A and B are shown apart, each in its own frame.
Chain A
Amino acid sequence: QQPVQSPQAVILREGEDAVINCSSSKALYSVHWYRQKHGEAPVFLMILLKGGEQKGHEKISASFNEKKQQSSLYLTASQLSYSGTYFCGTEAAGRRALTFGSGTRLQVQP
């Protein structure tokens, strides 16, 4: 069963913030976040491991609530280059592979 992402789509102005959520019904070992531009391959953003950590990458950060099996991706002071579709991929116990959500389409306008 794939994780549920919300919102499905969001439109921002440059400089605004956004939060993308990812929720699973399974016990998770890790959550991965990727960004995909139209027609291209997904690009890795970050991994969050079991343990409830939070990570950051420039103005993009994420958290993982192990008890709730939820992860959130935080984009602050958005730039035009942040536009794309964001996917979370979850690794559950028992399967050494990712299950991806259906994606959140983010559009940043000038």
Chain B
Amino acid sequence: DGGITQSPKYLFRKEGQNVTLSCEQNLNHDAMYWYRQDPGQGLRLIYYSQIVNDFQKGDIAEGYSVSREKKESFPLTVTSAQKNPTAFYLCASSILRRGANDEQFFGPGTRLTVL
């Protein structure tokens, strides 16, 4: 089955540690996205990538880093510079061509708690 996987589902880290969240898709999508969601809030864009080895900052990129070495993978690193990293992190992917099929498919999310 095609889809997006994120691992782990729950992640606990100590303050000051970097942590990497995994996102893999087998939908052959060119575009991939990372969002952060806080309780009762909407989705805020962290980074997005339209092609391998290229990515753009979203609205809240500070304290985060990404890489896109393979089309199917877009890992997110939450660094110690992120002041309030506890949140629900969602990865998504889509085709790059604009049009009626340009929906974003979301992974199940990773809930990160920094102690």
Contact = CB atoms under 8 A, between A and B. Distances in A.
Interface of A: 2, 29-30, 32, 40-44, 47, 49, 87, 89, 96-103
Given A32-B104, A41-B109, A42-B90, A98 B45 contact: yes
Q: Indicate the size class of the contact surface on chain B.
A: 20 to 34
Interface string B64-106: 0000000000000000000000000010000010111011111
B105 A2 contact: no
B45 A47 contact: no
Contacts of B102: 30, 32, 47
Contacts of A87: 42-43
A96 B31 contact: yes
B59 interface: yes
Contacts of A47: 100, 102-103
A103 B108 contact: no
B29 interface: no
B8 interface: no
A100 B104 contact: no
Given A30-B98, A40-B108, A41-B109, A102 B42 contact: yes
Contacts of B48: 96-97
Given A44-B105, A49-B100, 20 more contacts: A29-B98, A30-B98, A32-B103, A40-B109, A42-B43, A47-B100, A47-B102, A49-B98, A87-B43, A96-B50, A96-B96, A97-B48, A97-B58, A98-B104, A99-B59, A100-B42, A100-B45, A101-B42, A103-B41, A103-B42
Contacts of B106: 41-43
10 contacts: A32-B103, A41-B90, A44-B103, A49-B100, A89-B104, A98-B45, A99-B45, A100-B35, A102-B42, A103-B42
A97 B45 contact: yes
